[in-house]
Amino acid sequence: MSSRRTCLAVAAAILVCACSRAGAPDDFLTAYDEEYRRLWTDAEGARWAANTEVSDENSRRRIAAEQAFAAYTGDPAVIERLRALLARDDLTDRQRRQAGAAWRIAAHNPGTMPETVQRLIAAEAAQNDRLWGYAYTLSLPGREPRGVTPNEIDALLAESRDVAERRAIWECAKDIGPTLRDGLAELRTLRNEVARGMGYSSFFGLEVADYGLDSREMMAFMDTLLIQVRPLYAQLHCWARHTLAARYGVPAPRRIPAHWIDNRWAQEWPGLVEDVDLDALVADRSAEWIVRQAEDFYVSLGMPALPATFWERSDLYELPTDSPRRKNAHASAWHIDLDQDVRSLMNVTPNFSWFTTAHHELGHVYYYLGYSRPDVPYVLRAGANRAFHEGIGTLIELASNQTPYLRQTGLLTADRSPDRTQWLLSQALMGPIVFIPFACGTMTHFEHDLYEEDLPPAEWNARWWSYAALHQGLEPPAPRGPSTCDAATKSHLHDDPAQYYDYALSNVILHQLHDHICREILQCDPREANYYGKREIGAYLAAILQPGATRDWRQLLEEVTGEPLSARAMLAYFAPLQSWLEAQNRGRDVTFD
């Protein structure tokens, strides 16, 4: 390890000497880009191995590769060179973006505080193993405890109509929380130390800086979105708590008990619309069919078939229950070599959630392939911003949820014609109207306080539930004891930290794109769109994907949608639900706070 570190330091010194003469930013940026790509490929490959097979050996390799990556990208000499570059006023826009991206990479692992960075890398790897090595044990009332996978937990919540049983399943899903608390506290301290050492308000501020915003500006936008969505959310919440209370034969409570909802965090509310049984649509298909069908969607838009290596190297399906291998249970997409080595890690089983998730993940993969072109430097092979990256996949998720497409795939048979309002209701419950209170409210406010306020672990659970009550109108099945740590059950806090607002913003952006596509290309009602086979849509999307991070995201957004960042299109999409819900809720108090 140390010899590699020395070699890299020497290489960095040569780079700095060779490039410190005036007028040579390109020499430095080109040399940086090559080295960045080489070290990224090693680190990403090692992270892939550690996520597809949790083991001490994979963890050790990951730490070594990440330390090598950090040693170069955060080398004090590289940081100085970047600082000097960014102070110049003669850089081209491209050079400034390259240097800015390299600066933010350095800010995550600055060699100016090597011990903190080393501890952070080791702590991240250890937390990953705790998170994905965890084995859930379910103790249902009157039955023997047994091991369950996250997919099984989700399936049980989707099926059970017994409230006591649901509570046991929900509590089983939360048992992992306390095992992650100390690790998260350590990560928070180290992440903040690094970010503050580089001049950011906190680690939250460092992550937000990718958007050209500070923490306060991001939180102000989150609060605006919450206010905009609230009138429809309040109606939806009121309708849902009455519908669920009737299902469980009890009076409607003011807040929804979390174990009544099929999703472990109530970030989406499936299974509530009797007319729209989405899981039944894919129940007789195979997991393989689901992923192939998602690829077929993109190919129909004129995008290339996925590289053969995607199918050879990805890890797409759930492991058998008795498998000794432990892998990451969450869906993700990977750009291993910043070129054609693209992969996805999923646990697909035939249900509608994995059907949409497969479309979502391939969105990331097609974004990777879109900007992997010679004129996009490696360091700018990223989304216009992170929300764009999430938005493309979620746009295609929305497109895959439209009835004309589902008819075309044969999933929705000719004898079934779901009511349009019920379909839209289901989309609101599974999409942004329910998601934004979780994403902008509970998650982002909690992570903001975690980092910006250094919230002590003893206060985490109370803060988490106070946000869940305020924004989602949610409460735990019973008061949570001092040993619980429910926020820590959300994997993003550990391995995708201080970035959850990406998903909220992606919903806003994707609706802007969808609105534009429906108006300008398909000329159709946005709720009745069929993208399938429309190459013009593929060309429109390719123009967004191909520049990667070489363009300013605000300019790009205005150029491709005709408007700045705005929830207008998203709210217009769901507007027809407002009067229907108001009629359903007549005479009920829709407030929950």
- For residue 502, the minimal CB distance to Zn ion (Å) is 8
Segment near ligand X8Z (CB under 6 A); pick from 134-142, 223-231, 356-364, 537-545: 356-364
- For residue 360, the minimal CB distance to ligand X8Z (Å) is 6
CA separation for the pair 107, 89 (Å, rounded): 22
Interaction of residue 357 with ligand X8Z, rule CB under 6 A: yes
Residue type, 539: A
Residue 11 DSSP label: H
Output 32 or 388, the one with its CB closest to ligand X8Z: 388
CA geometry: angle 99, 105, 111, nearest 5 deg: 105
Output 192 or 263, the one with its CB closest to ligand X8Z: 263
Site for ligand X8Z in 255-274 (CB under 6 A): 267
Q: 332 contacts which partner out of Zn ion, ligand X8Z, none, CB within 5 to 8 A by kind?
A: ligand X8Z
Q: 472 contacts which partner out of ligand X8Z, Zn ion, none, CB within 5 to 8 A by kind?
A: none
- For residue 500, the minimal CB distance to ligand X8Z (Å) is 7
- For residue 393, the minimal CB distance to Zn ion (Å) is 5
Interaction of residue 495 with ligand X8Z, rule CB under 6 A: no
Q: Residue 270's beta-bridge partner residues?
A: none
Interaction of residue 378 with ligand X8Z, rule CB under 6 A: no
- For residue 222, the minimal CB distance to ligand X8Z (Å) is 15
Output 242 or 492, the one with its CB closest to Zn ion: 492
Output 393 or 526, the one with its CB closest to Zn ion: 393
Largest CA distance in the chain: 77
Q: How are beta strands 342-348 and 332-335 bridged, if at all?
A: antiparallel
Output 122 or 399, the one with its CB closest to Zn ion: 399
Q: Quick one: 246 exposed, middle or buried, by C-beta within 10 A (0-12, 13-18, 19+)?
A: exposed
3-class secondary structure, 147:
strand
Output 170 or 503, the one with its CB closest to ligand X8Z: 503
State which of residues 332, 409, 466, 584 lies at the interface with ligand X8Z (CB under 6 A). Answer: 332
Total number of residues that touch ligand X8Z (CB under 6 A): 7
Segment near ligand X8Z (CB under 6 A); pick from 110-118, 148-156, 354-362, 399-407: 354-362
Secondary structure of 388-445 in the HEC alphabet? Answer: HHHHHHHHHHHHHCCHHHHHHCCCCCCCCCCCHHHHHHHHHHHCHHHHHHHHHHHHHH
3-class secondary structure, 138:
strand
- For residue 506, the minimal CB distance to Zn ion (Å) is 8
**Which segments of 198-286 does DSSP mark as H helices, in order?**
203-208, 215-248, 278-282
Interaction of residue 331 with ligand X8Z, rule CB under 6 A: yes
Q: Quick one: 411 exposed, middle or buried, by C-beta within 10 A (0-12, 13-18, 19+)?
A: buried
Residue type, 51: N
Q: 243 contacts which partner out of ligand X8Z, Zn ion, none, CB within 5 to 8 A by kind?
A: none
Q: 343 contacts which partner out of Zn ion, ligand X8Z, none, CB within 5 to 8 A by kind?
A: none
- For residue 394, the minimal CB distance to Zn ion (Å) is 7
- For residue 440, the minimal CB distance to ligand X8Z (Å) is 12
Q: Which residue has the tokens 């379909």?
A: 423
Output 113 or 229, the one with its CB closest to ligand X8Z: 229
Q: Does residue 582 contact residue 227 with C-beta atoms inside 8 Å? A: no
| Of the candidates 431, 443, 446, the residue with the CA atom closest to the CA atom of residue 507 | 431
Interaction of residue 510 with ligand X8Z, rule CB under 6 A: no
**Which segments of 287-402 does DSSP mark as H helices, in order?**
287-300, 308-313, 352-371, 386-400
State which of residues 503, 553, 574, 592 lies at the interface with ligand X8Z (CB under 6 A). Answer: 503
Output 97 or 360, the one with its CB closest to ligand X8Z: 360
Return the number of other C-beta atoms located less than 10 Å from residue 576's C-beta: 13
Interaction of residue 278 with ligand X8Z, rule CB under 6 A: no
- For residue 317, the minimal CB distance to ligand X8Z (Å) is 16
CA separation for the pair 320, 449 (Å, rounded): 39
Site for ligand X8Z in 46-85 (CB under 6 A): none
* Backbone CA torsion sign across 180, 127, 205, 370: negative
- For residue 554, the minimal CB distance to ligand X8Z (Å) is 23
Interaction of residue 422 with ligand X8Z, rule CB under 6 A: no
Q: Which residue has the tokens 């009835």?
A: 403
Segment near ligand X8Z (CB under 6 A); pick from 156-164, 288-296, 355-363, 539-547: 355-363
Segment near ligand X8Z (CB under 6 A); pick from 165-173, 188-196, 357-365, 531-539: 357-365
Output 264 or 463, the one with its CB closest to Zn ion: 264
- For residue 389, the minimal CB distance to Zn ion (Å) is 7
- For residue 298, the minimal CB distance to Zn ion (Å) is 15
| Binding site residues, Zn ion, CB under 5 A | 390
Residues 6+ apart with CB under 8 A from 583: none
Output 223 or 268, the one with its CB closest to ligand X8Z: 268
State the number of CA atoms in the 13 A half-sphere of 391 facing the CB.
26
Q: Does residue 486 contact residue 465 with C-beta atoms inside 8 Å? A: yes
Residue 529: φ, ψ to 5°: -90, 145
Segment near ligand X8Z (CB under 6 A); pick from 93-101, 104-112, 141-149, 353-361: 353-361
- For residue 35, the minimal CB distance to ligand X8Z (Å) is 28
CA separation for the pair 263, 256 (Å, rounded): 13
Q: Which residue has the tokens 């290596």?
A: 309
| Six token digits for residue 403 | 């009835």
Interface residues toward ligand X8Z, by CB under 6 A = 267, 331-332, 357, 360-361, 503
